Chains A and B, each alone.
Chain A
Amino acid sequence: MLVPIFTLKLNHKVVPQTVAVGKYDGRHPALTCATTGGKVLVHSPHTKRQEYNQDISLLNINQQITSLAAGRLDPEADGDLLVVGSPTNILVYDINNNRDVFYKDCPDGANTVIIGMLGSFTSPLTLVGGNCSIQGYNKLGEDTFWTVTGDNVRSLCLADFDGDGMNELIVGSEDYDIRIFREDEIIAEMTETEVITNLCRLNEYRFGYALSNGTVGVYDGSIRAWRIKSKNRAVTTHGFDLNGDGVLELITGWSNGKIDARSDKTGEVIFKDNFDHSIAGIVQADYRLDSNAKGDQLICVSVEGEVKGFNPATGEVGTTLMNTNVEQETIRELSLRKQNLMLELKNYAENSKLALSGEAAVLAAALSGDLGRKNGAQGKGGFPGLKGLMPGGNSSGFDTSGGGGDGALRPGQTGLIAGQSSGGAPMGPGGQLALAGLLGSPGHSLIPGGQSQSGEFPNFKLGASSLGESGRTMGMIPANTQLETSILVNPGNQNVPPFVELKIATTNDTIIRAALIFAEGIFEGESHVIHPSAAAVSNSVSVPLIPPKDVPVDLHIKAMIGQKNSSHFHVFELTRELPRFSMFVLVDNEQPDPRSSVHFTLNERPQRAFMWLNQNFLLSQNLVCEGDLHVTFFSLRGSGLLRIRMSQAGQFAIHTDDMDLAGNVIQSLAEFLKIEDLQTIVDFPVETETLKQILIKVDELHRVRTKLTAEMADHSNLIRSMVVRAEDARIMGDMKSMRRGYMELSDLNRDLVAGYNIRCNNHQELVLGLKQINQIIQKASRVRVGKYKNQVVTLCRTAIKNNNTSSLFKIINTGVA
């Protein structure tokens, strides 16, 4: 059992995610964190300040502190430097010598900062993640690195992702994407399901991440190794070898005060502990400076300032960090499995008992002679593109089970398991293959239990009368009941916005009492429930889906199937994939081209492009290749037409007014066709015009800002003199002048406050403008692939730096300067 080797109370609140530890004098570690009121707290137990004889000192920043880092930015200096990020600037401060190293305005804000070596840079950098941009400063405050991402940067981490011996930068942003930058080139991009709030490096190519919805996981390279989800939120993650086996574990600090350590390979919990309050940060340092200590301790800090330090375990084989008896645990787990298997067996035994009696009823019913018709109808019926699956297929386990540090988890991308294990049938494009491989026989849909068809089957009623009651309450259903699903685009009407319609239906008279759909990113929570009112239950339900983004989504469907009024249902589970571009409906080619377009040439036949179309769009039937490709879609999200053309010669054109969409199409196409580099010619007059406007506006805002700053300086001079004058008057006893003086001062103060508000608004607009510029650059880069993609970012950056607007437009249009 691992117990804290030290605990202490800082007696100050700690702002989450702003905890760092630095050896500011080069030898003694000091815990540093942001506290209330724009202050930085430094806890230095080893270098007590004589004058106060206390180990906590406070630095006044007088600004909201958004991020904090400590590290050896200057290898020649005595010790670590402290970097403090605020919404408008960063400050690099040398605590040991009590001096500012540099101070930089960051209009993009500093959401997160880290210090470390990046790529081929020879000296350490301070990397600042802001509003769509990442900037890197060296020890002199020169910004030697700059790049953009799709949205606000929320987390940064340095790790050698590809094993080339140099660090790559891992960036998590608010558009749910994790991007890996080899300097300013994006070498990998992974889409997650929520805002990425945390990233931390682990062993080799692995890194851990946390999302704002309570998910924590590990990527091995660009493949997700495992993830778990908890109802609590992970505040911070850290890689630390707690059990002494030489491998870093993923340590997570949760909003409910829990910390847990999980194996980086499997996600198994090897240690957990509890604080009374949410965790604010986890760091590591040799905090006791104990010569016997084997290395760093893991230091956890809560928002209320409680600190606990843990020594890693000795690393002997079979050691356990938790106070559990391994054998007892094993026995309990095995017994549990045994019990579950026994219960399942019991289910089958009971089922066959009932099925026998049920058979008799069915036979009686068969006399009614209606069976044949039903059979025939069912064998062929069904929806285009359906998959059916019986209950009893292997569990589909919505993929993020486990979490909260309770040891429950599913390694791997279990999302797919449902599809694979249940049917074993391969999934064809568009989901055309019936997955009903398990039990596909057509059949009889009579219900022993005497439902409404009394007129039709008199014999049946007689035969089944003995079974009636038990059949109903037990939710007995014909064994060959199948579940059919179809996904169609519903263009909506005046009152109903367009949506994608998922239709679930049973193949007989059994009803669907409720349907649960678990999917990530398309509902408010993680699930959506369809529960028709008791009068409206039928054998089918329809679920409107509105995917907010163009990403493929796995829908895990659980349908509760039974009889009307029964209190017991069979649960059918199946998984369907919603294609990436599901919010588009195919229309004819008659309408004129949208104004904007992207042109490029591919070394491919149109057939391949057709395959891509069939896989990524929701089509009622597969498009077949007939010479040139020329299709038009209408976006249900209101971004107008999307026309895709491709000639036999490989001339490809995408016509749409939405640059973002064009980028999505190109990225998806490139991924499908495995294109590494692609240069394109784009023409987006609207977007260009917007950019022009924004640039003008930003310029203007900058001017206003300068003016306002000058005004403020004037005012403050004035204030100084007025205070002196008023105080003089007071000392002289000239109350009248003093009064007047202070009145004036008060007026001026009001002016200042008003001025400040203007500056605030100005600043906000400026930030917005800059964000938009960054986003347009990002969009422009996304319509290219590979090295051309990065080239656009670099060139645009240079153009903006040199204030060369015309060149900026050229870069956006052609991809070259």
Chain B
Amino acid sequence: MMQLDLTRVDYLQVGITCQKTMQVLPLTSKTQKIVVGDNDGQLQCFGLRKGQVQTLFQASKKNQISRVVLGGQIGGVRDRIFTSAGTEVNAFTKKGKNFLTFDTGITEPVQSIYVEGTDLLACGNFGFNHYCDCKESSYFLSSDKINDVICLPREKWNGLTPVLACQDRVLRVLQGSDVLYEAEVPGPPVVVELFGNNGGDEGNEILYGTSDGRIGLMQIGTLAPVHRWELPNMKRAGGVLCLDSYDITADGVLDLLVGRDDGQVEVYSYDEANEPVFRYCYTGSESITSVKGGVVAAAGFDEIVCANYAGWVFALTTEQLVKEVGLQKAAPDPVVTAKISNLKSELEGLQKQVSDERAKYHESAHSTKTVSAVPFFPINDKFVLNKDDASYSLSLELQSPIDNILLQSDVPVDLLDIEKNSAVVSYSACNPEDGNFLLATYRCQANTTRLEMKIRSIEGQYGTLQVYVTPRIQPKTCQLKQYPIKPLSLHQRIHAFDENRPHNTLTLKGQFSQAEVHSWLTFCLPEIPERPPAMDPAVFYFASTFLDTQLLCLYRKGEAVFKSDNISSISILKDVLSKEATKKKIRLDISFDINDDSVTHTLRLIHPKLEEQLLLAKKVQLIDALKELQVNEPDLSFMAPEYQEILKESEKLKAEFKRQPSHLERLYGMITDLYIDKFKFKGQNVKSKVPALLELLDTYELDSLIAFFENSA
């Protein structure tokens, strides 16, 4: 397969950009034009001539532009530009004529739009509106946040079939104002696009990307969805923010372009079985908010046009810009030289202006009456639970370079190092009496605008993680961001519940409203929508990312029922909820039904994980010794096959071991909690027996462990 060799070229910089706010207009002459909208409300359409940016038109809106999409006649060319800003949707011709300004009239700002012919789909955070010729024709209220919207192409599908990507891990397929069905996807979907830009042969295949970095293709059948393929996020890359289909490899088949929030742009081709194959990866330092394929700079050269969070519009082009590969230097391009000198003089002017202002600012400090107030700076942050290793990823991104970050937590959490971070981390001694369980500073390298951190929480211990971000901009300020560490922080929403497991049940009764109990749940569990659901009773299912145990929450006015096969989850909920209710001075009747089989069941669930970890640890321990033998012995055939296997797979084993630091300790912790919780419900305190339990775990055997749990009453 041909090696893709792409070179980055920067075109221009606009303000901070939202997801999917850059589009490449269809080809009209030799090259295509780019249109981009930013958070300052500026819409800019430009093309390139001889490497110079030529602006075609600009338009400015008061509100930040949240989406830029293209529309056109059904089956025709999509060459009209639609933007959403605030509650308004605007449409422009490719020449820049603002031929439509439409106020949707919805109460919240429009977050995502899609245009199909004369149909406009506009979504706020929860509401979906469908306008036909600017007249509202249907409406749907989603139970969780809508991240993106699309509809199947009309030329192949008669009716309008909108698809909403919702935060609660489902794609909702609508028909009119009703849900046709919900299609579960492996992570919270953030972006949906038509496969191959037209939905495939049948016009019903859509690509989705999730915030935990997965990509998949789903066929939206008339009755049920069909999962075609799914790309797991093996490399722990960032979340997907944008997708496109474009033939960058010039092999006649459309390729998949992916933009991620950790700055990666990836290219996948499809193999004979139409499964994606990784081809190319570019690693930038800022979130890629939009990605599109096109021919922009020079005719005949395909490029991937990207926009990133900081507002850079750049391309990865197939054109060889450095003419001679190697150490020889290409002759300086006069255009570029002019560009540089332009920039330089511009900078000089700015520098002067800034020093004037700086002096003025300092002057103001002599005055007794003035105040100093520096405006907020936008922070693009994400705090998500990773399913694979049951830890939280925190990413922070600024428009300007970060100077330092201070992390503070009032609950015990572990801060894990991330290889690709270049910032120097330093842990400070802290005193739990001051409410500090973690104090760490990250001192960043120059030009670091994005930083990722990994945090491991312990279920049952809850509080707040506070992050103070200081950018390298004068006057120096810092901003505080808070992230709750919830009591059941390692749980994740699911959409199915296995009734056959042995369950423990906790029932709360009292004078509380559904909204109240909803707010308690929001306090306890992640991924609960802000708004109380309209269902009565409301039901949510969760699964522990660490142990795969499940939890059911069912509540209505005056009653809440929790069911879980893990007694620890129930115990935590009981403690936290009774505390919350006491705070609100609400009397609760708490009753529980403990199923002793559930403990054995949970132990059996843990068993394979624990065994695998123990085996892995043992194997890793042996590697060095075996390696030494290998050095001494030219022929290793005398070794037991298992040892030979270890040697052969040593790299893989080591990598796996490294990927799950202190996994074993966490499992031990869970088992200990389980043990304590089991007897807590029986009114016994067994803390004194924990050392005996730990001793038993050292020589782990499932049966003896189960026996220990059962006999030590």
A interface residues with partner B (beta carbon < 8 Å) = 1-2, 12-13, 35-37, 39, 58, 214, 229-231, 256, 313-314, 316, 318-321, 323, 325-328, 330-332, 334-352, 354-355, 358-359, 361-363, 366, 371, 375, 390-392, 394-395, 398, 401-404, 406-409, 438-444, 448, 471, 474-481, 513-514, 516, 518, 523-529, 531-534, 536, 558, 560, 566-573
Select the residue from B369, B400, B434 with max chain A CB neighbours within 10 A.
Answer: B369
Interchain CA distance A366-B367 in the complex, whole Å: 13
Q: Which residues of B are found within 8 Å of A321, using beta-carbon distances?
A: 327
Interchain CA distance A355-B423 in the complex, whole Å: 35
Binds A, one of B17-25, B257-265, B343-351: B343-351
Given A531-B439, A532-B434, A567-B479, CB of A344 within 8 Å of CB of B372: no
Partner of B439, one of A348, A363, A471, A529: A529
Q: Which residues of B are found within 8 Å of A529, using beta-carbon distances?
A: 406, 408, 428, 430, 439-441
Partner of A344, one of B9, B360, B369, B473: B473
Q: Which residues of A are found within 8 Å of B366, using beta-carbon distances?
A: 439-441, 480
Interchain CA distance A350-B403 in the complex, whole Å: 21
State whether A335 touches B474 (Cβ < 8 A).
Answer: no
B interface residues, tally (CB under 8 Å) = 94
Report B322-334 CB contacts with A as 1/0, cut-off 8 Å: 1001111100110
Q: How far is the CB of A531 from chain B (nearest CB, A)?
A: 5
Closest to B374 in A: A347
Q: How far is the CB of A52 from chain B (nearest CB, A)?
A: 9
Q: How far is the CB of B410 from chain A (nearest CB, A)?
A: 8
Interchain CA distance A313-B367 in the complex, whole Å: 59
Partner of A345, one of B7, B322, B354, B429: B354
State whether B434 touches A355 (Cβ < 8 A).
Answer: no
Interchain CA distance A392-B340 in the complex, whole Å: 29
State whether B631 touches A35 (Cβ < 8 A).
Answer: yes
Apart from A39-B631, A338-B343, A355-B364: 18 A-B pairs, beta carbons within 8 A: A36-B631, A231-B421, A231-B423, A318-B329, A328-B336, A334-B340, A335-B343, A346-B375, A348-B357, A348-B361, A351-B375, A352-B364, A406-B445, A408-B448, A439-B366, A441-B367, A529-B441, A571-B477
Q: Which residues of A are found within 8 Å of B325, using beta-carbon distances?
A: 1
Report B425-455 CB contacts with A as 1/0, cut-off 8 Å: 1111110001110011101011110000000
Interchain CA distance A345-B346 in the complex, whole Å: 14
State whether B478 touches A560 (Cβ < 8 A).
Answer: yes
Q: Which residues of B are found within 8 Å of A340, using beta-carbon distances?
A: 400-401, 472-473
List 19 interface pairs A-B (beta carbons < 8 Å), by A numbering. A230-B422, A231-B421, A323-B322, A340-B473, A395-B476, A401-B445, A441-B367, A444-B369, A476-B373, A478-B370, A481-B372, A523-B428, A525-B425, A528-B429, A531-B406, A533-B435, A558-B476, A568-B374, A570-B478
Given A334-B343, A514-B406, CB of A408 within 8 Å of CB of B446: yes
Q: How far is the CB of A574 from chain B (nearest CB, A)?
A: 11
State whether A525 touches B426 (Cβ < 8 A).
Answer: yes
State whether A319 touches B422 (Cβ < 8 A).
Answer: no
State whether A514 touches B468 (Cβ < 8 A).
Answer: yes
Given A351-B361, A355-B364, A527-B428, CB of A518 within 8 Å of CB of B628: no
Q: Which residues of A are found within 8 Å of B347, using beta-carbon distances?
A: 334, 337-338, 341
State whether A354 touches B424 (Cβ < 8 A).
Answer: no
Given A256-B419, A331-B339, A531-B408, CB of A475 within 8 Å of CB of B429: no
State whether A331 touches B343 (Cβ < 8 A).
Answer: yes
Partner of A331, one of B7, B322, B340, B424: B340
State whether A471 touches B327 (Cβ < 8 A).
Answer: no
Interchain CA distance A571-B636 in the complex, whole Å: 63
Report B394-427 CB contacts with A as 1/0, cut-off 8 Å: 0000011101101010000000010101111111
Q: How far is the CB of A391 from chain B (nearest CB, A)?
A: 5
State whether A392 touches B443 (Cβ < 8 A).
Answer: no
B371 within 8 A of A: yes
Q: Which residues of A are found within 8 Å of B400, using beta-carbon distances?
A: 339-340, 343
B353 within 8 A of A: yes
State whether B376 touches A474 (Cβ < 8 A).
Answer: yes
Q: Which residues of B are found within 8 Å of A355, using beta-carbon distances?
A: 364, 370-373
State whether A567 touches B480 (Cβ < 8 A).
Answer: yes
State whether A338 touches B346 (Cβ < 8 A).
Answer: yes
State whether B369 touches A362 (Cβ < 8 A).
Answer: yes
Q: Which residues of A are found within 8 Å of B475, using beta-carbon distances?
A: 344, 347, 351, 391-392, 570
Partner of A230, one of B310, B364, B424: B424
Closest to B466 in A: A531
Given A334-B347, A341-B347, A403-B445, CB of A347 within 8 Å of CB of B435: no
Partner of A526, one of B339, B351, B426: B426
Q: Which residues of B are found within 8 Å of A229, using beta-carbon distances?
A: 424
Q: How far is the CB of B117 from chain A (nearest CB, A)?
A: 40
Closest to B424 in A: A231
Report B458-481 CB contacts with A as 1/0, cut-off 8 Å: 000000000010101111111111
Q: How far is the CB of A646 from chain B (nearest CB, A)?
A: 40
- Top 4 A-B pairs, shortest CB-CB distance: A439-B365, A525-B426, A443-B368, A358-B371
Q: Which residues of B are found within 8 Å of A318, using beta-carbon distances?
A: 329
Q: How far is the CB of B592 from chain A (nearest CB, A)?
A: 35
Q: Which residues of A are found within 8 Å of B440, using beta-carbon distances?
A: 529
Given A348-B357, A358-B370, A516-B404, CB of A479 within 8 Å of CB of B364: yes
Q: Which residues of A are found within 8 Å of B377, using beta-carbon distances?
A: 343
Interchain CA distance A460-B354 in the complex, whole Å: 33
B624 within 8 A of A: yes
Q: Which residues of B are found within 8 Å of A392, using beta-carbon distances?
A: 358, 361-362, 474-476
B134 within 8 A of A: no
State whether B480 touches A568 (Cβ < 8 A).
Answer: yes
State whether B329 touches A319 (Cβ < 8 A).
Answer: yes
State whether A408 touches B373 (Cβ < 8 A).
Answer: no
State whether A480 touches B358 (Cβ < 8 A).
Answer: no
Q: Which residues of A are found within 8 Å of B351, using beta-carbon distances?
A: 341
Q: Which residues of B are found within 8 Å of A352, using beta-carbon distances?
A: 360-361, 364
| Complex interface residues of chain B between 111 and 170 (CB less than 8 A to chain A) | none
State whether A568 touches B631 (Cβ < 8 A).
Answer: no
Q: How far is the CB of A252 from chain B (nearest CB, A)?
A: 14
Partner of A439, one of B362, B376, B434, B481: B362
Q: Which residues of A are found within 8 Å of B7, using beta-carbon distances?
A: 325
State whether A527 touches B441 (Cβ < 8 A).
Answer: yes
Q: Which residues of A are found within 8 Å of B28, using beta-carbon distances?
A: none
Closest to A533 in B: B435
Q: How far is the CB of A510 from chain B (nearest CB, A)?
A: 10
Q: Which residues of A are found within 8 Å of B358, using beta-carbon distances?
A: 344, 348, 392
Interchain CA distance A362-B351 in the complex, whole Å: 32
State whether B429 touches A524 (Cβ < 8 A).
Answer: yes
Closest to A568 in B: B479
Given A402-B446, A441-B367, CB of A571 within 8 Å of CB of B473: no
Partner of B365, one of A313, A342, A358, A479: A479
| Complex interface residues of chain B between 307 and 324 (CB less than 8 A to chain A) | 310, 321-322
Q: How far is the CB of A275 from chain B (nearest CB, A)?
A: 14
Q: How far is the CB of B366 from chain A (nearest CB, A)?
A: 4
Given A350-B375, A395-B472, CB of A313 within 8 Å of CB of B327: yes
State whether B369 touches A408 (Cβ < 8 A).
Answer: no
Q: Which residues of A are found within 8 Å of B445, using beta-carbon distances?
A: 401-404, 406, 408
Given A331-B339, A408-B447, A438-B362, CB of A341 within 8 Å of CB of B631: no
Partner of A474, one of B375, B428, B429: B375
Q: Which residues of A are found within 8 Å of B434, using beta-carbon distances?
A: 531-533, 536
Q: Which residues of A are found within 8 Å of B456, using beta-carbon distances?
A: none
Q: Which residues of B are found within 8 Å of A527, using beta-carbon distances?
A: 426, 428, 441, 443
Q: Which residues of A are found within 8 Å of B357, using beta-carbon distances?
A: 344-345, 348-349
Q: Which residues of A are found within 8 Å of B470, using beta-carbon distances?
A: 558, 560, 571
Q: How far is the CB of A2 from chain B (nearest CB, A)?
A: 7
State whether A518 touches B443 (Cβ < 8 A).
Answer: yes
Closest to B372 in A: A479
Closest to A243 in B: B327
Q: How far is the CB of A347 from chain B (nearest CB, A)?
A: 5
